[in-house]
Amino acid sequence: MRTISYEIDPGGDLELVLKEPNTLDVIPVVLPLDDDDATSSDIIFDNSSLSGRYSIFDKFDSQRDTEDPKRFVDGCPDEVRIKVSSRHLILASPVFRKMLEGPWSENASSSPPSEARQIFTTGWDAKALAIVLDVIHSRCQEVPKEINVPLLTRIATIVDYYQCHESLQFVSDVWLNLPDSVVRDPEPNWVDDLMILYSGWVFCHEGISSNKMKVVLRHSPGRSQFDLKDLPLAGLLGRLNNPRQEFVGRVLEGLHVLRKTLFVENGCPEKRLAACSSLTLGVLMRALHQMKRLDPPVTAPFDKYSVTAIFKLIDRFPKHKPSNYRKNYGVCSCDVYKRMQPVIYGIEDEIDNFKATNIQGWGEAQRSI
């Protein structure tokens, strides 16, 4: 068995043994909306390459099997043994406290008094785990001030699992000082966006979390587009899916309200043209019929339809003009999209003002410490 030894506390009374390192896959896969073209990304999202004491873990990033990126080539370590202080872990993490002080001393081996006690864990990214444990032990001199999004996400999964948010809060504020171009980009870059959203949620960074939630609310067509792998984000995406469904449903309801209005109004609001109302009604009736025949149909729970996609669909409804409108009435710009603008702008305004604190569970992990 190939082993790496990493010493955090030379006088530590505990050895944390990481089995099967780097086997958890927290990089989500974005599935095309057309199932026939669904593919998995083979891009490898390596961690930041770090110098000093962390360079020993770079081999996990560099020695992947080129034919199967999830597997490591021969010679890569099978386990990592980390010398730590049980007292530091107990103070930092209720999960470690339960393992080390609970009635059954969960997952801990009974070692001879002359040897350090052992506890075991599995699958974590070795570099991320070493950084987390260094911070818990206040060995921060070589902790990097800048890390890439994949490493940040792998650290966040460990912090989330062991509930050691408080110990990592100060350094996470530094890591999450991301460029505005990354935080505020309104267009989806889904793999990075989902990882940043998760990290912002774990570390309770309201600005980053709110911005990425807005991207999800506008552009996500539902949870079926994402294969999250081992990234524990399903619960949060489920909570964001509820307002997405509500927004799309509100648009559909607005179309039906408009249909009823067009049936009874004497003319369009702009020029009072009866012909304009009749033409708009015809376009809308045909469009509503076609929307039911789309694959999938635009019906609740509106899977595969984002809020932005619904807005664009309405904007593509045919534009109409009464044949004699210029001669008798001047320009009239009425169409379905314009008549729906109060509903559309209302939804856009709600998304613009959406905050992470609106979501149930915000900050619960931090408050439970």
Written as one string, the DSSP assignment of 166-228 is HHHHHHHHHHT---HHHHS--S--HHHHHHHHHHHHHTT-HHHHHHHHHHHHHH---GGGEE-
pLDDT at 60: 74
pLDDT at 194: 96
Report the distance separating Cα 213 and Cα 241, nearest Å. 10
Confidence of residue 273 (pLDDT cuts 50, 70, 90): confident
pTM, full prediction: 0.87
How crowded is the C-beta side of 96, counted as CA atoms within 13 Å?
Answer: 25
pLDDT at 223: 85
**Does residue 176 register a pLDDT over 50?**
yes
pLDDT at 206: 94
* 3-class SS of residue 81: strand
Closest CA to 283 of 326, 311, 322, 245: 322
Q: Specify which residues 30 forms β-bridges with.
A: 226
How many CB atoms are located within 10 Å of the residue 295 CB?
6
Closest CA to 198 of 154, 140, 262: 154
**Does residue 220 register a pLDDT over 90?**
yes
pLDDT digits (tens, 9 = 90+) for 137-172: 999 999 999 999 999 999 999 999 999 999 999 999
Confidence of residue 186 (pLDDT cuts 50, 70, 90): confident
pLDDT at 85: 97
Domain ranges of the chain: 3-144, 249-352
Higher pLDDT, 333 or 25: 25
Confidence of residue 36 (pLDDT cuts 50, 70, 90): very low
To the nearest 10 degrees (0 to 180), the angle between helices 190-202 and 165-175 is: 140
pLDDT at 286: 94
pLDDT at 353: 96
The dihedral region occupied by 40, where left means phi > 0, alpha psi between -120 and 50, and beta the remainder, is: beta
**Does residue 225 register a pLDDT over 80?**
yes
**Does residue 39 register a pLDDT over 70?**
no
pLDDT at 369: 37
Confidence of residue 115 (pLDDT cuts 50, 70, 90): confident
Lowest mean pLDDT among 86-100, 300-314, 319-333: 319-333
pLDDT at 356: 94
